Chain A
């Protein structure tokens, strides 16, 4: 293996030793796991998300059941009401503090808010707790037929702007692929202050149980086929919008990492691969990338960064509609 190969990259202004970043997942809840991620080669970790809605629900449930009773003289309450409860963000903030104290690699906190006040408040607290950067995990499902795409986009902009005005650390925005005009949206988010974009959020989708006639929430791990959508959009955006790009969803093999970088991503983030194969998987990914680069005589990641983006690729039209036509005709020829 060529030890001279330079894997380093830059993401959100943070110097990373390689593009392998562990994305937000339940694995990140344990400090031991974070340490193992670092030991196995991760260049940064995105912590599991702080869900404002979850905090609110937990608060309300706690309040509801602690308040239950008051109907019968022998059982006016059913629980001791203790002096304090850890229902706010404190547990998460402590996790950031412990992660920072335990790791040498950057720690990116992840926030999923529901109220405008919540986004700003928690972002501030995360910075104070020592996070190196923030990833805003905006997961808004527009269920109302009255709500327009424009309104939603403006909401995203306002939110990013509000957080950006509050914190000094870099801010990335993790978005879904459902915008009508992704490049324009990327530009707006950049203007609102985003330092990076993470493409794309994987939304948990309910499945239908046709035996029990139930709708069931499901969590499926990704596979490499999901990478293509990300490569496509990162390839299109690279160099056109002044933000760092990261790919999340579908990164499973060394080749996937290399493709991500070549499309223009500064970081290739992964969760499913680690959940499926364990954190140790990072080691083989890293060595696989090195082996490939060695075999193909690449000296550094920077050398390949964005090399297959629309801007730099030999066939820029392949990113656009022509590609659609080509695929169809190629099928036809078989």
Chain B
């Protein structure tokens, strides 16, 4: 049978089969497995049926714990059901996994295996998660490549049904889940042939049904539990044989033969490596290479890890084996070895003890760790392991791929060793995030995969910043199967899609002699040479590189492509790489364009065609001179004045050489210094704002809205201007009483992302030329040096006295130093202004518990982080525990601080004589409700410390250590809507109910932004999101209303762009309230699908339409006899559609399902209307101290026509 060749990634391969052979799919987003859920949701929303002709039900749950519960229930009720997950998500499923296995339930869970959050979170691939569930009783089947993922997804399903065991099918996160490869697609017939209807029927027959009721999930006592637990043994005993039979059956049907343990290498091998996962492919390639050189080495790929079939394992090994290297992609601190190593030892020992060992002697076994968090695992490292095995005294419990200079576990290897085949094209593409490079390369792989007989592989590396990031695409094509599960380090083709990268990255390091270098250059072919850094010139000459340039941005501009250069660079690649004949390649590109973009409209197709046609005439080969002449050097990753740790560790990571850092360079427990983002001068803005000091009214709105804290203001004494650079601007301060002082608004040119929000919000217009504002965007490059000097001078000017700032007015907020700066958040991010404001107001006494998500990534992802300190060295202390526990994590911080403060106060009381009566009384009765009070208390604490210094009494020492606890501390619990509305809602609710003084900031983007925009319960009705491909049918959860129901919780709903004064008030009141506070902050987001330049306008529209009413519920007002609920926005004056249809998340539904969009719009407008009525009612209530019960409309929702009428009324 001929099967379709498709070019897809591992996640799609798994989801393809899972969706075909299941009926209920419970999903929850977590990287890198989210895509499996996304595909499933999309396919079901498009009506794609499974092999039985029915469309699977896909449901997003509130957490992985919820998904596993739903899975368990669906299975118990007789459906074929599945789920997908990774990392901590898998750990959240453990309780149910035991249940599902204990009840002998057939199911398959597909896991993109990922590192666990320990000393740090990591989204990348290893086996720490799957190894954590090896005790649950699930069978575990490993896939090593994209093809295997598709195959094993089916095999495991067939096995689960026959074995009556749940199967965990896993593959390496990113390396396999995100690798794009050409594979053979299984057909529905293949699946029907593999899935036995009788076994499906048997599964249903075992299910719970009131028509044949049984009881499951009993509580058992010491008398029978143990025996009952042993009843399952026979199923586990039988499983390996069944799995092999199913693999054999698969081979008969499809033609690919798999083994539980698959041996590759010399039949008489003496040294054998045992491992599983994608690393086995690189090992396979290495073994073939070494065997061809006559080495007696081999490789045993473990596919069925649980149940571990000892006899099959032993029989798969050549009897000649003398030593085994068992490699685990996981770490089990304190264990006698990692899991696979221990299993191998046990298998050998049992066999030997039973007298069945086929080996001449008991093989020497060493265990090693490799590849944690997608650390590269290369043929060089694998060869290093074989070399280690050949040693007289090989190192056990070794590591490979790192330099462990502390406990000396690492083994040596020759990094120059390579198995790359010469007939494989190896291409590297350096692109800017969002310039389309990755998409174009995926397209290229498809073209080559589908239009030629070549095998094709693509792997994409992204960096940790969300703005201005660099993507590196690694593409291989060739006539032989590609097993190279590692990055390209020897490239025959290198493309640099952004000229500025040349000064940052040594990209030609990977260029092979005679390779091709394609550069997107604003300089023409006859001028570009002199613009290259010297090192680049030298490499081009030394390696005889064929050098081509194109001004892709110019071609893009001319052809209507804007800033997307993907199609142009792709055309260049085909034109000069010779992978396909040029004309055939052009036709193939155009065909691919039609296929990819056709559904998005003819205009898109036409502009891409125009880009293809316009490319070749603008592509030129450069005549390379015989010597390098440039004086341009690569820029250092950080400036020389950066601190030692930044120079040593952070700079190495920034420059892309973090792999070279030895163990000793890294902090022991994940603790890093703050204030490091200031050293990473990213220079990503093409244009930056320039201050017109004559127009400026010093309102401070630009400072408030800036997402990256790159625009700042200071008021200072004129004398501080001494020594200012010539271009430094200063004008008289426009504050009453401060007219003698100077005011400067300064931009950090090298940290600005060019988002333009500051310009957008600027309220001033030049009367003669209204398009000019007090801030205007200008080219960064000509301003870089002078403005950088101005910025440095500006930083040296002392901060304004905080005690004199009136925090009731926005204008004054600009004078407070932000302690959150230069984050890697998206350009124009809607979240970060709120965090920055919080740090301005309370940052020097704040501890932050940060839920996993965007805010933890831009807040804490290496190499550099944005939280920083003031001149006294104080600033936010920040930590991220998990996604699912952040509210509790923050509460724990509060409890801890309160307890220590309480103890400190007790000690002050006990030590009054030592402290002094007056100071003790002052310390204990201090008013810390404002900045001045806190400053005074700090002075008292310093006096206290001075008095206690050197006092040896235990209580005095304790008080000395805890003295700082006498100064008020602010606890902020920060996270997104996925955290607050979904996964930790239970915890959040409990924390709100605790009555403790915590401040919760919900950065509501209405989707799981960090994982790519999946629906949360904050997602509004009618919006399309991942997991809601058909538009969200239900209304957004009103979290604020739920919180208000407690009565003693401060609640505010804010939108900085809608009303900045209300935003500032809310922060001040929330922090002042001695109890739980929650602020729900409207955060515009890239996942909303519009140009974030208009973020402020959209916030205004959200408020104006009544979609996002602004209010504050302040329990403190009750004591003043006032209504605690204050509505801060006016009645809706804009139809909802005028707000929502500015955003792709809504308009795409009008394109995909117009009728549904129309109906949902009507309902969504009604939601607004109903909620507004309720809030209006509350705002008018007399002060009762408690919110009134929600008043629902007395009648049924108005019919459609009436709603339209209402809309029209609003419009008028």
Contacts and interface: CB of A to CB of B under 8 A. Distances in A.
Interface string A55-77: 11011111111111111111111
Interface string B1145-1162: 101101110100000000
Interface stretch (B242-250, B305-313, B596-604): B596-604
Contact of A56 (B469, B603, B1024): B603
A168 B926 CA distance: 90
B1151 A67 contact: no
Given A65-B1089, A80-B41, A71 B1151 contact: no
B1148 A70 contact: no
B46 interface: yes
B600 A66 contact: yes
B437 A79 contact: no
Contact of A63 (B435, B438, B600, B1024): B600
Interface in B615-670: none
Interface string A74-89: 1111111011111110
B123 A74 contact: yes
B861 to A, nearest CB: 9
B889 interface: no
A70 B1026 contact: no
B439 A70 contact: yes
B601 A75 contact: no
A268 B174 CA distance: 66
Contacts of B604: 59-60, 62-63
Contact of A72 (B431, B433, B600, B1024): B433
B1144 interface: yes
Interface stretch (B324-332, B545-553, B741-749, B1006-1014): B1006-1014
B1152 A82 contact: yes
Contact of B600 (A59, A77, A213): A59
Interface stretch (B13-21, B95-103, B458-466, B917-925): B458-466
A70 B857 CA distance: 16
Given A55-B603, A59-B600, A63-B604, A74 B1012 contact: yes
B1087 interface: yes
Contact of B438 (A70, A75, A80, A83): A70
B419 interface: no
Contacts of A58: 601, 1147, 1151
Nearest to B763: A212
A75 B1013 contact: yes
B31 A73 contact: yes
Interface in B462-510: 462-467, 469, 471
A26 interface: no
B38 interface: yes
B436 A70 contact: yes
Nearest to A87: B601
A63 B597 contact: yes
B462 A85 contact: no
Nearest to B601: A59
A83 B46 contact: yes
B465 A72 contact: yes
A130 B593 CA distance: 32
A59 B1086 contact: no
B1089 A73 contact: no
A123 B460 CA distance: 45
A79 B465 contact: no
A165 B1069 CA distance: 71
B382 to A, nearest CB: 25
Contacts of A88: 601-602
B1137 to A, nearest CB: 13
Contacts of A66: 600, 1144, 1148
Contacts of B770: 213-214
A13 interface: no
Interface in B1059-1115: 1086-1087, 1089-1090
Contacts of A55: 601, 603
Contacts of A69: 433-434, 1012, 1086
Contact of B765 (A68, A79, A213): A213
A122 to B, nearest CB: 10
Contacts, number: 160
A76 B438 contact: yes
A274 B1086 CA distance: 41
Interface string A267-296: 000000000000000000000000000000
A238 B1145 CA distance: 51
Contact of B1011 (A61, A74, A85): A74
A138 B1211 CA distance: 30
A74 B437 contact: no
Contacts of A206: none
B1029 interface: yes
Contacts of B32: 73-74
B234 interface: no
Given A59-B600, A67-B439, A213-B767, A72 B42 contact: no
B1152 A84 contact: yes
A72 B1010 CA distance: 9
Given A69-B434, A83-B46, A75 B1010 contact: yes
Interface in B1010-1039: 1010-1013, 1024-1026, 1029
B857 A74 contact: yes
A213 B764 CA distance: 10
B1152 A85 contact: yes
B600 A70 contact: no
Nearest to B602: A88
A74 B434 contact: no
A73 B123 contact: yes
Contacts of A78: 1009, 1012-1013, 1026, 1086-1087, 1089
Nearest to A76: B1012
Interface in B1129-1153: 1144-1145, 1147-1148, 1150-1152
A242 interface: no
A68 B463 CA distance: 16
Contact of B467 (A64, A71, A75, A86): A71
A177 interface: no
A74 to B, nearest CB: 4
Interface in A70-128: 70-80, 82-88, 91
Given A68-B1089, A71-B462, A77 B1012 contact: yes
Interface in B32-84: 32, 34, 38, 41-42, 45-46
Contacts of A91: 1154
A61 B1144 contact: yes
Contacts of B31: 73-74
Given A73-B31, A76-B438, A78-B1013, A85 B466 contact: no
Contacts of A73: 31-32, 123, 174, 178, 461-462
Given A73-B174, A76-B462, A68 B1012 contact: no
A79 B1028 CA distance: 10
Contacts of A80: 38, 41-42, 45, 1024-1026, 1029
Contacts of A63: 597, 600-601, 604
Contacts of B1029: 80, 82
B564 interface: yes
Contacts of A83: 46, 599
Contacts of B471: 70-71
B82 to A, nearest CB: 19
B1151 A62 contact: yes
6 residue pairs, one from A and one from B, having the closest CB atoms: A71-B433, A59-B601, A56-B603, A65-B1089, A75-B1012, A213-B770
12 contacts: A58-B601, A62-B601, A67-B436, A67-B439, A70-B434, A70-B435, A71-B466, A74-B34, A74-B1010, A78-B1013, A80-B1026, A213-B765
Interface of A: 55-56, 58-80, 82-88, 91, 213-214
Given A70-B434, A80-B1026, 14 more contacts: A62-B601, A62-B1148, A63-B600, A67-B436, A69-B1012, A71-B467, A72-B857, A73-B31, A78-B1089, A80-B45, A80-B1029, A83-B46, A85-B601, A86-B1151
